[in-house]
C-alpha cells in the first residue's frame, strides 16, 4: 500500500499524541488532579489511528471505557478532553461525563461508553441511519475481546449484518478483560471467527502494525461505503498497563508476556520503519514529539485553570429545555 | 364522535406523525408484516414500506440500542417492546444509555426516542407476560413516562411523545388494545405532563392510571348512587407529574385513593402518596389508600389472578374505608 | 442405526401422544375451557421425541413457550399437563404457571419459559451443576431459531462451550419467529453455523425425521456425557399452525409453503416406514392411536373436573415457608 | 474487638459458608484470580479452587442465568455483579427468572441464589457506575433485598442470605469496601428482616440504609449537641421490611426522616414513608422528610456529584425542618 509522506507522518503524529496524552493522564492521576479513574490506551495506538485515518469527519465512531485513543484519532481536541477528564466545565461534556463518556458529535464521536458492549447496538442504529439517509457515512464500532462475550455484541452484529449496514466492527483483542485472559473467557482462538455467525467477513490483523490496520480497515470501510455491509476486524494487541490507572496490572499477567508485547511497541516499530524508509529523520521525530508534549502540557494547564461547573448545573441537561 | 380502538388510535398517531415527519421510523418485533402482536402498527408497513417500518430479530437490547443510535443521528424512532415484561431484556439500553446520554454528554447528544410497550394482567398470560413495570422508569431520571387511559389519550399523547426531544416510555394497556373509545377525526395532541380530571367531585379524590381510570369511573358511578361525589383524576403522565392538579383536588376533597396496576410495594402509588403528604399534609383528613397489585408475581389461573389485581370492588372498598 | 422394536414403537407412541395432546388443546381452547393462549408443537414432534428418547430420567431439559412436546417426550403426565393448561390446582404448578411455565423437576423438566432465550443461560447453570457434581447428567436446551438472535443465546453458549459443559443445544428451526421468517432475522442460512463462534460442533439435521434426530442427538449426548462438551444441533422443521392457538398463521406464510411442510409430516413418514419395515401394522397403529386418544380425553376430563385453586393461594409460593 | 474492612467481612462470610457447605459456589467477573474488583472475594480462588470460584466472561445475563440453573440443581451460588449498574444487563434473569421460578412452578423449584452487587456514588465514576438501583427489586415480588451498613452487618447478613432458600439481592456499598469496622471473631449471623436501632432517641426518628446509617449517626451526634435526641434505625433489609421496629419508633418520636442513596423519585424512601403514614398516621406530628439523591443521573464532576447526593448537611437540614 502506497501512502503519501503526509499521511504517514500524520499517522505517527496521532499515535504519539495518544501515547503522550495517556502518559499525561497517569501523571495527572498521580498528582490527584483527576477525580475517579481512567482506562488507558497505551500499547493499542496503532488500531485507533490505523482505522480512523481512513475516515471522513462526518463518519461516526462509537467508543468504550478505553476511549481516549479513539477520540484523539478521530480528531478530538486535547484541551477539551483533558478538561473533561478533570471534571471541568470546559470539557467536552461540561464535566458531566468524565473519561468514560466523552462525546463530540460535531466530530462524529457519538460517545464513549462505560458499559461493556453497550455501544455495539447503538452503532447498529447509527449505521442504519446512514443506510436510510443514504449519506454514505460509515460507522466504526470499537470494542474489546471481552465485550465480544456480551449479549449486546451478538444482537448488534446480528442486526448490523442482517441489514447490510455500513459498519465496521473493530475488536481490539488485547488478550485481557480486566484480569480474565481471552482463553478463560471464550472457547475460540480468534474473535474474528464470530463473523461467521453473522455471514460477514472476519479479518485478523496485527493490531500493533498501523499500516496493516490501515489496509484492512480501508478495505472494510470501502466495502461498507459501497453498500456491501459490515465487517468484523480483530486486531491482536496488548494493553501495556493495568486495567485502569489505579491497577498495576501485574497480579494476573506474567511479566514476560508484558515485556514481549512492549517489545512489539506499535510506535517504536513504526518510527523505525519511517526512518528506514527515509520518510522522517530521528531529529524530525524528536521535534514532533516535543511539539506534542507541549500541546499536552498546555492541555493540562488549560484543564487545571478551568473551573468546575457550578453545583446547580447538576440539575440541567436531564431533558431538553 | 366516531369510535376507534386503542390499537387503531396508536396506529393513527404513528401514521400521522410518519406522514408529516420522514424521520419518524417504527421498529420492533412483528411490527411490520404482521402489524404488531396487538395490531397497533397494522397497515404501516404497507403504507410506509420496510425502510420505515422495520421488523426486527428477537433482540430487545438490539432494538432499543438501534433506536438510540437512530435518534442520536437525527431520526425519531418509535420502538416497540411487545410485552412490558421484555423491558428486562433491554434494560441497559433504556436505563444506562437512552436515559443518560443527554446528561452524560453535557447536553450535546439528544435521544428523541419513543419506546412503546405495555402493562396489564387479567389475560391469563402468567408471570412473564403480565407485569406492570412502569414504576422502575419513574425511578430513572432522564425518561418521561406516559400511561394513556383510552384511545383518545393514547393518540394525543403518543403524538406528543414522538415530537418530544427526549426518550419517552409509553405504557399502553394490553387489555385496552381492542377497546373502543371516542377519538376526533381532526388532528390534536395532548401535552405531556398534564393530568386530566375525568369527573369532578368533592368528597374523595381517586387518582388512577391507565385502565384503572375506567374502573375508577365505574366505581364513581356506583358511589354516586350512595351520594358520594368522587373526583377522578386520570394521571396520564407519571414523569413529569402534574402535581398542581393533584394537589388542588386533594385540597378540595381531603381524601385520596390512588389506583394503579403495578405491584404495590415500592410502586408508583407510594411516590404519589408521599408527594401529596409532603405538599398538603394538613389538608388530608386521613391516611391515603392505595389500590394496586398484591405483592406477588402474576399467577396464571383466573381466580388467582383476579385475587391479586386491583378491581372495582377493591377500589370501592378503599373509598368506603377512607370515608369511615 | 439399529433400534429395537420397542424403542421404535415407543417413539411413534410419543409422537402421537404429542400430536393428539396438541390437537386436544386446540379443541379445549375453542371450547373456552382454557384461559390464555398456548403455543402448539404440531409438526415438530420428531425433534422432542428424537432427542428425549436418548435421555435418562434424571437428565435435565429446559423448554420454551412452545413446550408441551418437550414435556411429553421427557415423560410428562398428560393429566397434570392438561390441568395446568386449564389453570387447575391439580396441574403441575397448581395452576400458577399455565402452558408456558410447566415444571416437573422430578422428571428433570426444569421449566418451560415464556421469555425467548431465557432458559439458555439457565441450561448453562444446570450443565455446570453436572460438571461440578460429576453426576454424568446431560442437559438438553431447546429453543427456536428466533431465540438464536437473543443476547442470552450468545452468553449461554459462550459459557457452556468455554467450560465444556454437558449440554446439547437443540435449535428447532421452524423458519418463523411469530411472523418473521428466518431470512428476515439473520444473515445466515443455518443456525448451526453459529457453533463456530463457540468452538463446538454444529450439526444440521432433518427435524422431521425422528430417526435422524435420534442419531444426531445420541452422538451429541454421548459427547456431552463423556465430558467432551457441548454441541449445537439445528433441526430443520416447520410449525404447522399459527404462532399460538389464536393465530391462524396465514397472514405471513404462503399456503404453498405450509402445504409442502405438511406433506413432510414427521408422523406420517415414520408410520409409513414402520409399516414398510414390518415393525407395526396399520391396525396396531390404529390401536395405539385410539388408546392415546382415550388417554388424552381422560386428561381433559380430569382437568375439567379438577377445581381451580383457592384465590388466597395466590399469596403462597413467593418464598419458601 | 478486631476491626476488618467491609470487603474482608464479605470474604469471611463467603469463606465460612463455603467451608461448611460445599454447595456454595462463587461466580462473577474477576472474582477469581483477581479476587474481585473491590477485593471482596480475595483469597477464595486460592482456597477453594477454580471449580468453586468461577471467573466468568463479561456476560451478566449468563452469570445470573447460570446461577439460577445451579441453584435449581441444588447448589447455593453467590453471583457477583461488579457494579450495581450492571443489574441492567442481567435484568431478565433476575426479574423474570430468579424471582418468579418458585411461584410459576407452584413451589416445585427453588432458587437459593445470592446476587451480590452494590450501590453508591461519590467516587466520580459517572452515570453508569454510580447508581443505587435497589428500589427496583423491592418492586419485584420474589426477591429479598438487603443493604448492609457496616462490616458487621454485611458479614452476618450475607451468611443468612446464603442459607436462605430464595433469591436474595445484597446491595453492598462501593464507598465502604475499604472502610473498617468491628467484627467478632466468632461465628454469627444476622437474620433477614430485622432492622436495628443504632441509637435510641425520643425527638425524631431517622431511618437510613447502607452508608447513610453512618452519615446519620454523625448528624445525630451533631444534633445531640443541640439537645436533639435522634433515634437512628438501620433498616438493614428492605424486603422483608421490619415494620414493627419502624412503627414503634415513630409512635415514640412522631417525626420521621428517611435517608437513602437511591434517586428520590419513586424510590424506597417513598415506600417507607407511605407505609408509616398508612400504619401510624395519627402519631405523625408532621410530614415525613425524605433525603435521597436528586432526580438526576449521577454526574462525574465532584461538585456536581456532591450536589445531588444525600449528605450530612442535607440530613441535618431535614431534621431541623421537621422539628420546626
Ligand atoms: C456490562 C459491563 N460489565 C462489566 C463491566 C466492568 N468492566 C469494565 S471494562 C471490563 C473489561 C473489558 O474488557 P474488553 O472488552 O476486552 O476491553 P479492554 O478493557 O480490554 O479494553 C469490565 C469487565 C462493565 N463496565 N460493563
Ligand atoms: C424476550 C422475548 N421477546 C419476545 C417474545 C415474544 N415472542 C414469543 S415467542 C416469539 C417467537 C419465538 O421464535 P422462535 O424462537 O423461533 O420459536 P418458535 O415460536 O418458532 O417456536 C416471540 C417473538 C418473548 N416471549 N420474549
Ligand atoms: Mg480486552
Ligand atoms: Mg421459530
Tell me: cis bond preceding B240? Omega within 30 of 0 counts: yes
Residue of D157, D180, D141 whose CA lies nearest to D4: D180
C-alpha cell at B294: 398484591
Other CB atoms within 10 Å distance of the CB of residue A103: 27
Model confidence at A320: pLDDT above 80: yes
Cβ–Cβ contact B61 with A under 8 A: yes
Q: What per-residue confidence (pLDDT) applies to A195?
A: 98
CA–CA dist C108, C104 (Å, integer): 7
Range of C287's domain? 5-251+264-302
Of B136, B278, B300, Cβ closest to residue D287: B278
* Listed residues: CB within 5 A of ion ligand 4: C 144-146, 174, 177
What is the pLDDT of chain C when averaged over all its residues? 98
Taking CA atoms, A118 is separated from A132, B98, C169, C232, D128, in Å, by 23, 11, 27, 27, 11
Report if residue C309 sits inside a domain.
no
Please report, rounded to a whole number, the percentage of residues in chain D having pLDDT higher than 70: 100
A1 pLDDT above the threshold of 80: no
Contact D61 C96 (CB under 8 A): no
Residue with cell 427468572: D97
The grid coordinates listed for B128 are 412473564
Element (H, E) at A144: strand A139-144
Please tell me the distance from the alpha carbon of residue A312 to that of residue A315, in angstroms, as a whole number. 6
Euclidean distance between CA atoms C187 and C190, whole angstroms: 9
φ and ψ at residue A220, rounded to 5 degrees = -65, -40
pLDDT in tens, A66-80: 999 999 999 999 999
Contact B270, D273 (CB under 8 A): yes
Specify the DSSP class assigned to residue C261.
H
Known active-site residue B129: yes
CATH number at residue C205: 3.40.50.970
Which pairing describes strands A231-236 and A167-173: parallel, antiparallel, or unpaired? Answer: parallel
- Whether the ω angle into residue D55 lies within 30 degrees of 0, i.e. cis, is no
CB contact under 8 A, D106 and C126: no
Question: Which positions ≥6 away from A255 have C-beta within 8 Å?
Answer: none
Residue C125 maps to a domain: yes
Q: Give the tens place of pLDDT for each residue, C6-39.
A: 999 999 999 999 999 999 999 999 999 999 999 9
Per-residue confidence (pLDDT) for residue C2, from 0 to 100: 86
Residue D286: its pLDDT value, please? 85
Residue D281 has what pLDDT? 87
User: Over the stretch A155-175, which tens digit does the pLDDT of each residue have?
Assistant: 999 999 999 999 999 999 999
Nearest partner of D71 among C320, B237, C200, B143, judged by Cα: C320
The answer to whether residue A121 neighbours chain D at the CB level (below 8 Å) is no
Q: Residue D94 carries which DSSP code?
A: I
Residues making up chain C, counted from first to last: 321
Residue C216 has pLDDT above 80, yes or no: yes
The reply to whether ligand 2 has any atom less than 6 angstroms from the CB of C66 is yes
User: Do B292 and B260 meet the contact criterion of CB atoms below 8 Å apart?
Assistant: yes
Contacts of C104 in chain D (CB under 8 A): 108
Question: What domain count does chain C have?
Answer: 1
**For testing contact with chain D, the best of B59, B65, B130, B141 (most D CBs within 10 A):** B141
User: Which pLDDT tens digit goes with each residue over A114-124?
Assistant: 999 999 999 99
Residues in CB range of A32: below 8 A, 6 or more apart: none
Write down the pTM of the prediction.
Answer: 0.99
Q: Is residue A193 part of a domain?
A: yes
Of B58, B61, B87, which to mutate for an interface test with C (greatest number of C Cβ within 10 Å)? B58
Count of CB atoms within 10 A of residue B224's CB?
13
pLDDT at C321: 83
Domains of chain D, CATH where assigned: 3-182 (3.40.50.970), 196-322 (3.40.50.920)
Atom number of ligand 1 nearest to Cα A176: 20
Taking CA atoms, A47 is separated from A61, A122, A217, A232, D255, in Å, by 13, 21, 9, 14, 61
**Residue A15's pLDDT band (boundaries 50, 70, 90)?**
very high
Ligand 4 center from residue C244 Cα (angstroms): 12
What is the rounded average pLDDT of the residues C156-183?
98
Whole-angstrom distance, CA of residue A17 vs CA of residue A215 = 21
Selection from A8, A101, A84 nearest residue A46 by Cα? A8
Phi (first) and psi of residue C264, to 5 degrees: -90, 25
Q: Is C16 left (phi over 0), alpha (psi -120 to 50) or beta?
A: alpha
Predicted local confidence at residue B281, as pLDDT: 87
Buried b (16+ CB within 10 A) or exposed e, B146-163: bbbbbbbbbbbbbbbbbb
Q: How far is the CA of D29 from the centre of ligand 4 (A)?
A: 33
Cα–Cα dist A124/B67, whole Å: 9
pLDDT at residue A231 in the model? 98
Nearest atom within ligand 1 for CA of residue A39 = 19
As a whole number of angstroms, the distance between CA B255 and CA B274 comes to 14
Atom index in ligand 1 nearest the CA of residue A116 equals 26
pLDDT, residue B286, reads 85
Whose CA is closest to C16, among C239, C250, C290?
C290
Instruction: Give A308's contacts in chain D (Cβ within 8 Å).
Output: 301-304
Strand ranges in chain D using DSSP code E only, listed in sequence order? 3-5, 24-28, 53-55, 76-80, 114-119, 144-146, 168-173, 180-182, 196-199, 204-208, 230-234, 237-239, 256-263, 289-293
Cα C272 from chain centroid?
23
Under an 8 A CB cutoff, do B106 and A128 touch?
no
Between CA C223 and CA C37 the distance in angstroms is 37
Condensed to tens digits (0 to 9), the pLDDT of residues D88-113 reads 999 999 999 999 999 999 999 999 99
Cα separation, D276 vs D206, whole angstroms: 13
Strand partners, D291: D259
B29 touches A: beta carbon within 8 Å: no
Instruction: Please name which ligand lies nearest the alpha carbon of D31.
Output: 1
Q: Which residues contact B246 (CB under 8 A, 6 or more apart)?
A: B195, B205, B207, B233, B235, B272, B275, B276
Q: What is the pLDDT of residues B182-229, one digit of tens each?
A: 999 999 999 999 999 999 999 999 999 999 999 999 999 999 999 999
DSSP for D151-197, please give it: HHHHHHHHHHHHH-SS-EEEEEETTTTT-EEE--SS-----TT--EE
- What are the strands, taking DSSP E only, across chain B? 3-5, 24-28, 53-55, 76-80, 114-119, 144-146, 168-173, 180-182, 196-199, 204-208, 230-234, 237-239, 256-263, 289-293
pLDDT at A2 over 90: no
Mean per-residue pLDDT, D54-58: 98
Grid coordinates belonging to A285: 521525530
CB contact at 8 A, C103 and C62: no
> Would you say B69 and A126 are in contact if contact means Cβ atoms under 8 Å apart?
yes
> Rounded CA gap, C194 and A194, in Å?
8
Question: How far, in Å, is the centroid of ligand 3 from the Cα of D239?
Answer: 38
Residue of minimum CA distance from atom 17 in ligand 1: A144
Measured between CA atoms, the residue of chain B closest to residue C243 is: B37
Q: In a 10 Å sphere around its CB, with 0-12 CB exposed, 13-18 middle and 19+ buried, how is residue D249 labelled?
A: buried
Rounded Cα distance between C20 and C70, Å, is 14
Query: Which whole number is the average pLDDT over A13-38?
Result: 98
Q: What is the pLDDT along chain B (324 residues), one digit of tens a residue?
A: 999 999 999 999 999 999 999 999 999 999 999 999 999 999 999 999 999 999 999 999 999 999 999 999 999 999 999 999 999 999 999 999 999 999 999 999 999 999 999 999 999 999 999 999 999 999 999 999 999 999 999 999 999 999 999 999 999 999 999 999 999 999 999 999 999 999 999 999 999 999 999 999 999 999 999 999 999 999 999 999 999 999 999 999 999 999 999 999 999 999 999 999 999 989 998 889 999 999 999 999 999 999 999 999 999 999 999 998
- Residue C98 dihedral angles phi and psi, to the nearest 5°: 80, -175
SS3 B262: strand
What's the pLDDT score for residue D40?
98
Residue corresponding to grid cell 393530568: B195
Amino acid at each position: 500500500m502506497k501512502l503519501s509522506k503526509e499521511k504517514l507522518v500524520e499517522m505517527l503524529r496521532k499515535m504519539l499524541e495518544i501515547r503522550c496524552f495517556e502518559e499525561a493522564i497517569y501523571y495527572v492521576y498521580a498528582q490527584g488532579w483527576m477525580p475517579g479513574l481512567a482506562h488507558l490506551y497505551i500499547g493499542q495506538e496503532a488500531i485507533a489511528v490505523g482505522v480512523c485515518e481512513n475516515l471522513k469527519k462526518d463518519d461516526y465512531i462509537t467508543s468504550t471505557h478505553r476511549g481516549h485513543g479513539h477520540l484523539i484519532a478521530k480528531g478530538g481536541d486535547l484541551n477539551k478532553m483533558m478538561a473533561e477528564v478533570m471534571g471541568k466545565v470546559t470539557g467536552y461534556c461540561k464535566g458531566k461525563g468524565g473519561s468514560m463518556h466523552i462525546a463530540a458529535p460535531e466530530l462524529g464521536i457519538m460517545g464513549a461508553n462505560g458499559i461493556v458492549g453497550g455501544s455495539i447496538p447503538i452503532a447498529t442504529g447509527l449505521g442504519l441511519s446512514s443506510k436510510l439517509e443514504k449519506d454514505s457515512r460509515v460507522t466504526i464500532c470499537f470494542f474489546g475481546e471481552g465485550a465480544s462475550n456480551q449479549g449486546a455484541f451478538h444482537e448488534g452484529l446480528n442486526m448490523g449484518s442482517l441489514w447490510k449496514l455500513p459498519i465496521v466492527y473493530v475488536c481490539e483483542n488485547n488478550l485481557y478483560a480486566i484480569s480474565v485472559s481471552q482463553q478463560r473467557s471464550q472457547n475460540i482462538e480468534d474473535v474474528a471467527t464470530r463473523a461467521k455467525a453473522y455471514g460477514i467477513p472476519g479479518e485478523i490483523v496485527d493490531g500493533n502494525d498501523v499500516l496493516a490496520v490501515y489496509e484492512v480497515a480501508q478495505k472494510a470501510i470501502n466495502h461498507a461505503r459501497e453498500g456491501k455491509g459490515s465487517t468484523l476486524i480483530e486486531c491482536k494487541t496488548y494493553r501495556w498497563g493495568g486495567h485502569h490507572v489505579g491497577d498495576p496490572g501485574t497480579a494476573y499477567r506474567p511479566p514476560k508476556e508484558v515485556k514481549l508485547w512492549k517489545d512489539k511497541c506499535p510506535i517504536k516499530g513504526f518510527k523505525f520503519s519511517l526512518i528506514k524508509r527515509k520518510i522522517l529523520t530521528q531529529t524530525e521525530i524528536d521535534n514532533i514529539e516535543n511539539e506534542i508534549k507541549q500541546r499536552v502540557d498546555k492541555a493540562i494547564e488549560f484543564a487545571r485553570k478551568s473551573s468546575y461547573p457550578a453545583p446547580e448545573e447538576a440539575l440541567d441537561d436531564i431533558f431538553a429545555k | 364522535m366516531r369510535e376507534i380502538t386503542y390499537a387503531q388510535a396508536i396506529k393513527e398517531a404513528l401514521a400521522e406523525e410518519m406522514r408529516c415527519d420522514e424521520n419518524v421510523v417504527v421498529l420492533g418485533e412483528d411490527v411490520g408484516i404482521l402489524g404488531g402482536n396487538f395490531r397497533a402498527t397494522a397497515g404501516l408497513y404497507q403504507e410506509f414500506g420496510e425502510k420505515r417500518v422495520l421488523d426486527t430479530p428477537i433482540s430487545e437490547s438490539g432494538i432499543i440500542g438501534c433506536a438510540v443510535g437512530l435518534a442520536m443521528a437525527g431520526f425519531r424512532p418509535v420502538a416497540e417492546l411487545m410485552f412490558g415484561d421484555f423491558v428486562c431484556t433491554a434494560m441497559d439500553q433504556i436505563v444506562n444509555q437512552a436515559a443518560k446520554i443527554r446528561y452524560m454528554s453535557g447536553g450535546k447528544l439528544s435521544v428523541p426516542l419513543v419506546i412503546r410497550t405495555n402493562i396489564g394482567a387479567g389475560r391469563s398470560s402468567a408471570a412473564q407476560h403480565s407485569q406492570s413495570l412502569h414504576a422502575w422508569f419513574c425511578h430513572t431520571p432522564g425518561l418521561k413516562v406516559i400511561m394513556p387511559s383510552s384511545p383518545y389519550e393514547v393518540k394525543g399523547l403518543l403524538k406528543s411523545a414522538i415530537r418530544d426531544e427526549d426518550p419517552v416510555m409509553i405504557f399502553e394497556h394490553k387489555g385496552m388494545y381492542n377497546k373502543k373509545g371516542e377519538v376526533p377525526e381532526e388532528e390534536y395532541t395532548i401535552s405531556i405532563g398534564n393530568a386530566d380530571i375525568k369527573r369532578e367531585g368533592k368528597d374523595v379524590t381517586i387518582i388512577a392510571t391507565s385502565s384503572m381510570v375506567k374502573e375508577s369511573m365505574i366505581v364513581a358511578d356506583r358511589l354516586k348512587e350512595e351520594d358520594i361525589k368522587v373526583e377522578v383524576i386520570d394521571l396520564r403522565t407519571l414523569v413529569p407529574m402534574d402535581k398542581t392538579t393533584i394537589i388542588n383536588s386533594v385540597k378540595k376533597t381531603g381524601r385520596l385513593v390512588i389506583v394503579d396496576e403495578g405491584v404495590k410495594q415500592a410502586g408508583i402509588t407510594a411516590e404519589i402518596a408521599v408527594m401529596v403528604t409532603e405538599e398538603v399534609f394538613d389538608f388530608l383528613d386521613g391516611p391515603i389508600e392505595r389500590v394496586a397489585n398484591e405483592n406477588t408475581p402474576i399467577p396464571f389461573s383466573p381466580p388467582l389472578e383476579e385475587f391479586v389485581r386491583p378491581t372495582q370492588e377493591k377500589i370501592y372498598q378503599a373509598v368506603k374505608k377512607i370515608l369511615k
